[in-house]
Amino acid sequence: MTIEQPIQLTYLGKSTPAPGSPDEAVLDRVPNAHPDSPYLVRFSAPEFTTLCAVTSQPDFAHFVIDYVPGAWLIESKALKFYLGSFRNQSAFHEQCTVTIGKRLVSNYEPQFLRISGYWYARGGMPIDVFWQFGTLPDNVWLPDPGIPTYRARG
């Protein structure tokens, strides 16, 4: 694939301050060099943090984001900054997980995207949230997220 104009990226290769909120975060994208060959890309974010919408205590999650790109790829530093921008935001687990999934779909227009949010237990109950967009192409393998279900201490 030939790129005629240089891509302007917000974060990559630059020292830039992290965005203060998800609305301020820029989700850079780069052209997919193989849009004719469906394939799966996985991002794992094991240290996601946001604030509880009720208590303002920190909530932690391990996100697994699987997507089949269309014309665009997710630029990883922009994704890290976007996810990090939730650190001082209040949201319920479901709201946070689905909001992230919808924003990624809106910006990158993938053929398929699945976000799995494995939230760590607080108050004795973990909450796992899954959101999916599109249909996985027949010839693309979607591996198990690899995150064991919550087992407590035994």
Does the active-site annotation cover 144?
A: no
State the sign of the Cα–Cα–Cα–Cα dihedral 82, 86, 91, 94.
positive
* Residue 152 to residue 154: CA distance in whole angstroms: 6
Which residues face 131 on adjacent strands? 115
DSSP 18: P
d(C-alpha 87, C-alpha 148), whole Å: 24
CA dist 6 → 33, 41, 97, 114 (Å): 14, 24, 33, 30
Contact 31, 69 (CB under 8 A): no
Residue of 28, 59, 66, 96 marked active site? 59
Q: Is 52 a catalytic residue?
A: yes
CA angle 92, 93, 96 (to 5 degrees): 85
Catalytic residue among 52, 96, 128, 144: 52
Q: Which residues are catalytic?
A: 52, 59
